[in-house]
Amino acid sequence: MTSRTEFTERYRFATRDDLPAFLETLEDPAVTRWLWFAPAPPSFYEAYFGPLLDAQAEALARGRLPATSVFAVEDGDGGFLGQGATVAVEGSPGGFEIGFQLRRAAWGRGVGTRLAWFLGAYAVRCHGAHRLEGSCLVGNMGSRRLMTILGLQEEGRRPGFRLKEGQRHTELLYGAEVAALDGVRLAEVAEVLGLGPKDAARPDACWPASRAR
């Protein structure tokens, strides 16, 4: 289990002010090598992330958790390390997809592992997730490793599904019901990060601690 002292990063809800950092991360060819939607012009990323961040800000202002939660990941000094998200899966009540992109400087330091556990614990504790899932290109060994660390299983392959820079790539689909995951570990991560349980009477119970740790 990741110990309490190892959670050195801070996770906070991202805002439009974070867009330049998002775009800078996605300008690195090493980061985008296995992202099916990249490389792309800044206008593409702005058109994708901007509405999500606006919807998130509106939900938080109304005292609600957003259906799509986008987080900025920072080191202890406030340096930007990357972004992560949980997305409510349409047509699957209680289903949440996780995704993340980390700067190259964050690789090999356990940042991705801790982020995966945070996203899983957040979806389960704060949204009452019944199922977690994710996807990546077959060559993305880093993301494949993080999916399996979280306990997600490969559920399917879609050969040639993604077209990236003129080449076809197989997409891997990962998922698991929360009941099949390590509930003790998820609960410990939630406790370490101060994530409160889903509470209809207090919809803001989750985010004070997750915004900055």
Q: In what order do the strands lie in the sheet with 80-88?
A: 10-13, 68-74, 80-88, 95-102, 131-137, 167-177, 153-164
Check residue 2 and give its pLDDT: 45
Structure tokens at 88: 């409510």
Instruction: Could you list the beta-strand ranges (E) of 43-118.
Output: 68-74, 80-88, 95-102
Q: Minimal CA–CA distance to 89: which of 150, 156, 135, 121? A: 135
Residues 89 and 175: beta-carbon distance below 8 Å:
no
Per residue of the chain (213 residues), give pLDDT as tens: 444 547 889 999 999 999 999 999 999 999 999 899 999 999 999 999 999 999 999 999 998 899 999 999 999 899 999 999 999 999 999 999 999 999 999 999 999 999 999 999 999 999 999 999 999 999 999 999 999 999 999 999 999 989 888 899 999 999 999 999 999 999 999 988 888 766 544 555 665 444 433
Q: Is 182 exposed, middle or buried, given 0-12, 13-18 or 19+ CB atoms closer than 10 A?
A: middle
On whether the 4-211 domain is CATH 3.40.50.620, my answer is: no
Contact status, residue 175 vs residue 153, Cβ threshold 8 Å: yes
Cis peptide before 208 (omega within 30 of 0): no
Cα torsion angle, 29, 31, 36, 40, sign:
negative
pLDDT of res. 209 = 43
pTM of the model: 0.91
Q: Kindly list the domain boundaries of the chain, sorted by start residue.
A: 4-211
User: What distance in Å separates the CA atoms of residue 131 and residue 65, rounded to the nearest whole number?
Assistant: 18
pLDDT of residue 203: 53
Using the CB atoms, write b or e for 126-141: b if 16+ within 10 Å: bbebebbbbbbbeebe
Residue 112 CA to residue 136 CA, distance in Å, equals 15
Name the β-bridge partners of 46: none
Which amino acid is residue 193, in one-letter code? L
Provide the CA 184 distance to its chain's centre, in angstroms. 20
Rounded to whole angstroms, how far apart are CA atoms 102 and 131? Answer: 24
